[in-house]
Amino acid sequence: MKKLTVNFTVNGERVRLRVPANRTLLDILREDLGLTGTKRGCDTGECGACTVLMNGRSVNSCLVLAGEVEGAEIITVEGLGGEEALHPLQEAFLEEDAVQCGFCIPGMLMSAKYLLDRNPDPSEEEIREAISGNLCRCTGYIPIIRAIKRAALKLKERK
Amino acid sequence: MMHAVPLKWAGCGSKIAKMEIVGKSHRRYDALYKARGKAVYVDDLYFPHMLYAGVKRSPHPHARIKKIDPGGLKGKKDVFFVSYEDIPGANKLPIIFDDWPVLAPGVARFAGEAVALVAAPKKELIPELLDEIEVEYEPLEAVFDPELSMKSKVRLFGDNNVFASYYYDTGDIEKGFQDADVIVEDTYRTPYQEHAYIETQGMVAVPTPDGGMEIYGSMQCPFYVQKAVAGVLGIGMNKVRVVQMETGGAFGGKEDMPSQVASQAALLAYVSGHPVKLIYSREEDILSMSKRHPGIIKSRVGAKKDGTLVAVDTTYILDSGAYATLSPAVLWRGTVHACGPYRVPNVRVRSYAVATNKVPCGAFRGFGAPQVIFAMESQMDRIAEELGMDPAELREKNLVREGDTMPYGHKLAGSVGTLETLKKAVEKSGWKEKRKTYGKEEGFKKRGIGLATIFYGVGLGAAGKQLDRSGAYIQITEDGKVAFAVGTTEMGQGMKTALAQIVAEELGFRYEDVAILPTDTSRVPDSGPTVASRATVMSGNALRNAAKPLRETLIKIASELLSVPPEKIELKLGDVYVDGSPKLSLDELIKEAYRRREHMASQGYYVAPHTSWENKEGGEAYMVYAWATKIAEVEVDLLTGEVKVLRITSAHDVGKAVNPTLVEGQIEGGAIQGMGYALMEDILTEGGEIINNNFSTYIIPTIVDAPEIIPIIVEREFDKGPYGAKGFAEQPLMGIAPAITNAIYHATGVRIKELPATPERVFEKLLKAGKVELWKEK
């Protein structure tokens, strides 16, 4: 496989890598950069566990090829809160007991961030629409909806 | 922070009083690191010189394997190959009949069965290396239908392909039906259900210098894995150590299946001398791992005019797939649960688990019960209709009470909250009003409300009692904190949190001062599987036994330090209390214990209470039962057959909710999984091969489908459970399907007898019943 060199940033840090052209962003994050917070659930863009932000938009990182990453800004779950502080979304997920097995949660959080970045005051329907690409098999989604509403309130209060 | 909570003291009414931590919704122990992306699942593990593995699988449902040729692999540097001929130990998955080989030895019996293994240093090389392996097959005649299989000349097991069969008889079934004023009889069919845990199966095997193996992976049952890996490698179990990694969902699918995955990884690690990581793709996971059994339930139910049940006759057939694995146990549980939570004087139950050339079926939340519940709860609604009774009243009339005897001969001593779950669910859902008003809507969208009442035997019961024991270890550290280990596992259900609360309560620690060690076979003795909703009861009691000597030591020292008799000392929330006021901190007390060289670590063990079973008579099948009522409200679109679930009210007798928020979380999650089973989930096969092996074709509920859920907790304490708790995590799924199909009937008058109730199936029924008609050009 032909290799190419890509330059991009992950969670604000600059990265330069030489990788095969068919390598996915998910593999780059997990295997090359050791950012294992982003999860692999299906490798075909159906489960949403690998969701990250790319240039501010949510993407299934398993469907993004190395070449597309050139120049991009990537945010993963590791870049959501700080080392010490939690992002309001993370706080709300804990407060609403929205985490069970936890495997879908990094992707959920990133899809939710994309929603709240665009729409700080989403309706329940808009929340459901925004998370419809993220599968969860444990929680029944109910606490996730509650958590995203709660995070929206928190963000509003902090402004 | 917890000091603000008013204290309850013994004698205030409850048998179990003055709890400080149990019964409160503490923050989930494992949530913080999971929300930060820091949790370590098996695919997040890396070892030096680690290889990646892949599995070559049979494309045929039944075929003789004439030749396995590794092709060019043999000469390749750092590439390792394993077929059944290279297995040093026993080529089998030890579970009940030990009949599933790790690698097919000469005959492959389902499409997707493992035939050979390969490992190489780079993950991306694996697909092409697997392609280089050439396997020559001679296809054999195959059988896919369990009823045909019993009479087929294709031999898969014994002389009739029946893996297991159970029966029991109570009263006089013929006389029972003669006495009945109304009889309903029908056949119900239930589909496969795929677990669809978001984390696929995965294991890392690491050879140890003494010829042993360490296994790290996603699993429910590390002691199963230990036995399997030792067996396949032909080494002692004392040289196999199994560590559970964070597990990304399981639902029964990681009960026995991880033994298979671990054995495959271990064989490659053994042959190569390297650590080996094997992570299944979603496609091969769906293709080759166990599912909920499809069921055929033939049911005949008779009742008197006043609604009293007089006879139930059930024949239950499970499509087990190619190997027995857990089928006998799944079938037994379904057999016990066949007649529902009702007083029935005359009963006849016959059950069969039958081999077919399809993927082996096994454990899935409910374990053989959801199938028979669907049939019995549909039949109950039909009886109610025949008699013109309200379905809730019919159930109320027949539900077992304390002191009653189950149809299989188990007299219920206590902790029977059935009726209370029914009453609360009926009240909270607005049942009575909605039964009258729903279904009368104008237009093409009709509403309906339906219910189901269920019971569930907690723990392994009589069929698995040899495994029903658990160990625990507690260690108090000199800085005033405590760590503990158990042999059961966390898979998202909340075990760690519940057990941490129990340890804190027992020893008087604050919840924040309790830490949990990873589940590891080297820390505690074989604690059995984490299945059957047993972890809180079994590990909880083992921990209480472990805590006892530690508490006694601490109280003895405190009594000496404070010069008060030991019975006046209370340990709670990080302090030592006398007469209701804190006198000494637990930290200081523990420091003193260390100064005195007291033993501040302890092992605990717990053996499940007595259970019994004999075919024909039945017996005391389970140590205790959990009870629940489900009420579903739906809206059916007559033009498309689509069913939208509007609301589910789900009331559960859990004995004692150790952590109410976590209990509600289980109720919500299980309800939606049950809704998937009712409306959309099905594995489709063509010539025995699964054709919908990913999430674009195997459809599970998304957030858009999630209805409002109203959880209700009922607490009828179980006297042998920790703080009155009894197991709980499976029941939320059960009974949702018949509650929904009963609601569909209420809305439209069409009876769904085969799940899932897809729009196609519902629409066809509506057409046949003349509820809608196709527009035809004149």
Q: pLDDT tens digit string along B217-241?
A: 999 999 999 999 999 999 999 999 9
Whether the CB-CB separation of B247 and A101 falls below 8 Å is answered with yes
Residue B49 tokens, joined: 């010189």
Give the pLDDT band (50/70/90) at residue A158.
confident
B40 contact A CB<8A: yes
DSSP for B163-215, please give it. Answer: EEEEEEEES-HHHHHHH-SEEEEEEEEE--B----SSPPEEEEEE-TTS-EEE
The Cα B216–Cα B242 span in angstroms is: 6
Chain B residues with CB-CB distance to A142 below 8 A: 668, 672, 706, 709
Instruction: Look at residue B778 in the predicted model and tell me its pLDDT.
Output: 64
Query: Across the strands, what pairs with B46?
Result: none
Domains for chain A: give ranges and CATH numbers: 3-79 (3.10.20.30), 88-158 (1.10.150.120)
Chain A residues with CB-CB distance to B704 below 8 A: 128-129, 132
3-state SS assignment for residue B5: coil
Instruction: Look at residue A13 in the predicted model and tell me its pLDDT.
Output: 97
Interchain pair A128, B703: CB under 8 A: yes
Strands B114-120 and B51-57: antiparallel
Whether the pLDDT of residue B11 is over 70: the answer is no
Interchain pair B671, A145: CB under 8 A: no
Give the H/E segment covering residue B738: helix B736-748
- Tell me the ipTM for this assembly: 0.98
Whether the CB-CB separation of B163 and B361 falls below 8 Å is answered with no
3-state SS assignment for residue B535: helix
Instruction: Look at residue B773 in the predicted model and tell me its pLDDT.
Output: 85
Whether the CB-CB separation of B29 and B496 falls below 8 Å is answered with yes
How many residues in total does chain B contain?
Answer: 778
- Residue of B282, B703, B709 with shortest CB distance to A132: B703
Q: What is the mean pLDDT of residues B381-399?
A: 98
The Cα B58–Cα B690 span in angstroms is: 13
Report the gap between the CA of B571 and the closest CA in chain A (Å): 28
Interchain pair A93, B704: CB under 8 A: no
Give the H/E segment covering residue B759: helix B759-768
End-to-end CA distance of chain A: 49
The Cα B361–Cα B240 span in angstroms is: 27
CB atoms within 10 A of CB B687: 11
B773 contact A CB<8A: no
Interchain pair B41, A94: CB under 8 A: no
3-state SS assignment for residue B443: coil
The Cα B296–Cα B188 span in angstroms is: 6
* pLDDT tens column, B135-187: 999 999 999 999 999 999 999 999 999 999 999 999 999 999 999 999 999 99
Instruction: Look at residue B6 in the predicted model and tell me its pLDDT.
Output: 34
Q: Shortest CA distance to B638 belongs to which of B776, B737, B742, B774? A: B774
Is the peptide bond preceding residue A143 cis, with omega within 30 degrees of 0?
no
Q: Shortest CA distance to B755 belongs to which of B35, B175, B189? A: B189
A82, closest residue in chain B (CA to CA): B36
Interchain pair B196, A20: CB under 8 A: no
Chain B residues with CB-CB distance to A147 below 8 A: none
Instruction: Look at residue A20 in the predicted model and tell me its pLDDT.
Output: 95
Query: Across the strands, what pairs with A1?
Result: none
Chain B residues with CB-CB distance to A109 below 8 A: 35
B681 contact A CB<8A: no
Whether the pLDDT of residue B2 is over 80: the answer is no
Give the H/E segment covering residue B394: helix B391-398
- The average confidence (pLDDT) of chain A is 97
CB atoms within 10 A of CB B475: 16
* Cβ partners under 8 Å of residue B775, min gap 6: none
Whether the CB-CB separation of B17 and B23 falls below 8 Å is answered with no
- The average confidence (pLDDT) of chain B is 96
Residues 476-495 of B with CB under 8 A from A: 491-494
CB atoms within 10 A of CB B232: 28
Whether the CB-CB separation of B83 and B103 falls below 8 Å is answered with yes
Among A44, A74, A103, most B C-beta atoms within 10 A, so best to mutate, is: A103
The Cα B553–Cα B337 span in angstroms is: 45
- Residue of B41, B197, B694 with shortest CB distance to A46: B694
Interchain pair A81, B700: CB under 8 A: no
Which position has the token pair 């067996």?
A: B231
Q: What is the mean pLDDT of residues B78-98?
A: 96
* Cβ partners under 8 Å of residue B565, min gap 6: B559
Whether the CB-CB separation of B360 and B292 falls below 8 Å is answered with no
The DSSP secondary-structure symbol of B25 reads: -
Instruction: Look at residue B19 in the predicted model and tell me its pLDDT.
Output: 86
The Cα B625–Cα B605 span in angstroms is: 22
List the B309-321 sheet strands across, edge first.
B162-170, B346-355, B309-321, B295-303, B182-190
Interchain pair A36, B40: CB under 8 A: yes
Q: In the structure, how many helices (H) and strands (E) does chain B have?
A: 18, 28
Whether the pLDDT of residue B647 is over 70: the answer is yes
* pLDDT tens column, B265-276: 999 999 999 999
> How far is C-alpha B595 from the geometric centre of its chain's CA atoms?
46
The Cα A6–Cα A23 span in angstroms is: 11
Interchain pair B694, A42: CB under 8 A: yes
3-state SS assignment for residue B276: strand
- Residue of B40, B200, B249 with shortest CB distance to A101: B249
Give the pLDDT band (50/70/90) at residue A35.
very high
Give the pLDDT band (50/70/90) at residue B362.
very high
Whether the pLDDT of residue B41 is over 70: the answer is yes
Share of chain B above pLDDT 70, in %: 98
The Cα B667–Cα B735 span in angstroms is: 12
The Cα B679–Cα B700 span in angstroms is: 9
Instruction: Look at residue B75 in the predicted model and tell me its pLDDT.
Output: 86
Give the pLDDT band (50/70/90) at residue B5.
very low
Q: What is the mean pLDDT of residues B74-95?
A: 95
* pLDDT tens column, B457-467: 999 999 999 99
Interchain pair B494, A106: CB under 8 A: no
Instruction: Look at residue B9 in the predicted model and tell me its pLDDT.
Output: 32
Instruction: Look at residue B10 in the predicted model and tell me its pLDDT.
Output: 31
3-state SS assignment for residue B427: helix
Q: Could you tell me the maximum CA-CA distance found in chain A, to the nearest angstrom? A: 51
Whether the pLDDT of residue B15 is over 50: the answer is no
- Residue of A76, A101, A136 with shortest CB distance to B247: A101
Instruction: Look at residue B14 in the predicted model and tell me its pLDDT.
Output: 40
Q: How many CA atoms lie within 13 A of B300 on its CB side?
A: 15
